[in-house]
Structure 1
Amino acid sequence: MAWVVAVASGSVTVPAMAQHLVTTQKLDWRTAEKLAALAVEDCAGKGWSVTAAVVDPTGHEQVVIKGDTVPLQSLSVSYRKAYTAYSYGQAFDKDTTSALIDAHLSGPPNGALNTIPEVLFVPGGVTLRKADRTVLGGIGVSGAPGGEKDEACAMEAVRKMQPEFH
């Protein structure tokens, strides 16, 4: 079965099934792994053991790299920072969890958005984007002595990997 679509220059036949497919771009696992490793290495070079998590456009963890001496909670915190950077960065066109916080996009004064299990408005998450601003996912880092330090490591990894996000 096919659909016939009228266009200005005539008509085009399009397979009916193609009308129902959605294509999503994401990083391949090797690139996601390299990105997370770079963030962990950058922080390690500064003396901080961290966990880095990368989420894909479904919001699920694609890669997690845990430093050797980070506390257990860094696993969930890095994921939640990545998830927040991805989902809210996309929704509000911001590139970091710090930018979301600075724009006061963390929800109503009662903090209701922070009650959503995956959401965490804490510095340390970066929205992953192609040059045309298409969102590919997010990276979150946790374990450095302060969210701004986590975010700096994530940003440095993204800066180094950005040319590979095509």
Structure 2
Amino acid sequence: MVWVGAAVVLGSLLFVAQSAEGALDDPDQAHQRPGFLDEGDLPAAAPDLPGDALEGGRPAVVFFERPRRLETLCDALADDDLDRRAELVVIVSGEDGECAGARLVDDPNDELAATFGLREPSDGGPPVGYAVVDSDGRVRYRTLDPHAADDLEEVTTIVTAVP
């Protein structure tokens, strides 16, 4: 009877863990916010962006966002001082201009995230996350993170750790 109870508890925990995965998360959770210890093929040269959005010489954070979620990210960036530590770029389809100190780059075909090596989220749409580029123009970290606007302290910690 103990085994049945243990199986029910473990099954319930597994169900809760799987239901916590969202449509914007990586289908393989091993790649979701992996950390610096699992760099894979990084560092790698950062791809060129339209209009020389990455000027170089200082760290940069390249956010990948969807249009309907853009306002939340821009509001979070406005309330944060990340722009003092890094150049900020937001790549989104169908938008251009500024976003709380970040340069907006229009990506009409949703192709730029792949050039940074971001994986496709569970829903098959364009990735939502970010990449951190060091002052020498190398991608040092990348991840899908649909909650980046809520976790800018984590992004700041990563930026502080790169040269």
Normalised TM-score (structure 2): 0.35
Q: Which has the higher contact order (CA 8 A, sep 6+)?
A: 2
Normalised TM-score (structure 1): 0.34
